[in-house]
Structure 1
Amino acid sequence: MDKTYHKQIKKIAIVGPESTGKSTMAINLAKYYQVPWVPEYSRYYCEALTTPCTMQDEINMFHGQLALEHSVLVMTETDFVICDTTFLTVKIWSDAFFGKSPEIVLDALPKHSYDFYVLLDIDLPWEDDPLRDFPNQREHFMEVWHNELQQLGANYKVVSGLGEERLKKAIQVIDEFLLA
């Protein structure tokens, strides 16, 4: 029997549009709180792709993110973990690229929630990366993130700022969540 049945481990998700510093933030928060973090599975997956991403690839990334998250949750002794994004990203990218989302993702969204989301703002300068696609649509995707989180009834806060200021604001909203 895995540990998730023995105690409730809170999941704090770091989310947002491309190039908002999610991975850096997740790592820094995990270090600060001395808790495990769940990396973004799709980054590793997409780095290995040799052809354009397909709907099946999106489904594979969904399963991979859940498996990675589960492996961290069953191994942790802490009260919470930091998740570098969630499979909600699969829905957002599937909608953007294919005009629809995989049914398995839509079915799982209301059943697989996170306790708190830190939505990173688009105030960081864009950084080119071969896995990033939409440098001119950051405002659009910020709105998409707001809409998706609101449709889920998610508990979330937007964090903006540069460098240490951004990290301090994220710590502040997470502390407020943890103390509530």
Structure 2
Amino acid sequence: MAILGAESSGKSTLAEALATRYGTLWVPEYLREFVDTRGRVPFESDQYPIARTQVEREDEAALRANGLLFCDTTPLMTALYSRQYWGRVDPQLARLDARHDYALTLVTAPDSPWEPDGLQRESEEVRQKVHRMLLDTLAARAIPYVLLEGDLAQRLRRVETLLGPAA
């Protein structure tokens, strides 16, 4: 399952909660680790390696997951942020992004208070712009998605209506 959304929209919290609820694994966003370990935001040249690492971690976790795997972001978001900050997408990243082959795409609405997070988060204005860009991209590529709004409990209930109750 792909969990997409703009910065500070609850992707990580939701992915972890869903993995706990369904007794399976989740793949944290590698970008957060990248920023924390390097002490800087990524350069354009970092975008493809970040997305590639994300996919590698998804592939590894899929081998150990218990039926479901919740992925906190995908190369689609990396490509979207590349367009936001550099006005283009590296061809290798575009190829990774094009393989968006998740069983379900969940989008977290930016309806919680925006919280700065050091280097990785920019502003409420950018969060709203990226959200609009994400919805436009999904529509243009005819990728079906479910928009999750409200607090964590509301989002969990909504996903449970889609996946069924946890065993």
TM-score under structure 1 length normalisation: 0.83
Alignment partner of 1:40 is 2:29? yes
Equivalence for 2:129: 140
Structure 2 CA distance for partners of 1:51 and 1:43, relative to 1, 3 Å:
closer
Correspondence for 2:60:
71
CA deviation vs aligned residue, 1:40-73 (integer Å, no higher than 9, x gap): 1111011122455211211110111011111101
Contact (CA 8 Å) 2:149, 2:155: kept in 1 or not?
yes
Gaps of 5+ in 1: 1-11
**Residue 92 of structure 2 corresponds to which residue in structure 1?**
104
Q: Is the 8 A contact 2:116 2:122 kept in 1?
A: no
Q: Are 2:154 and 1:165 equivalent residues in the alignment?
A: yes
Taking the aligned partners of 2:163 and 2:148, their CA distance within structure 1 comes to 11
Q: Which residue of 2 aligns with 1:3?
A: none
Cα distance change, pair 110–175 in 1 and its aligned pair in 2 (3 A): farther
Which residue of structure 2 lines up, in the alignment, with residue 15 of structure 1? 4
Instruction: Return the match for 2:144 from 135, 155, 160.
Output: 155
Distance 1:120 1:112, change over 3 A: closer
Which ranges of 4 or more aligned residues in structure 1 deviate by more than 6 Å? none
Q: Are residues 52 and 168 of structure 1, via their aligned partners in 2, closer, same or farther at CA, if it must alter by over 3 Å?
A: closer
Aligned residues: 164
> Counterpart of 2:50?
61
Cα displacement (A) at 1:106: 1.1
TM-score by length of 2: 0.89
Where structure 2 has 5 or more consecutive residues not aligned to the other structure, the ranges are none
Q: Structure 2: how far apart are the matches of 1:52 and 1:84?
A: 18
Paired residue type of 1:74: L
In structure 2, relative to structure 1, the CA distance for the partners of 1:118 and 1:175 (3 Å cut) is farther
| d(CA) in 2 for partners of 1:104, 1:46 | 21
Tell me if the contact between 2:114 and 2:123 (Cα under 8 Å) persists in the aligned partners. Answer: no
CA-based RMSD: 1.8
Partners of 2:21 and 2:72 in 1: how far apart? 15
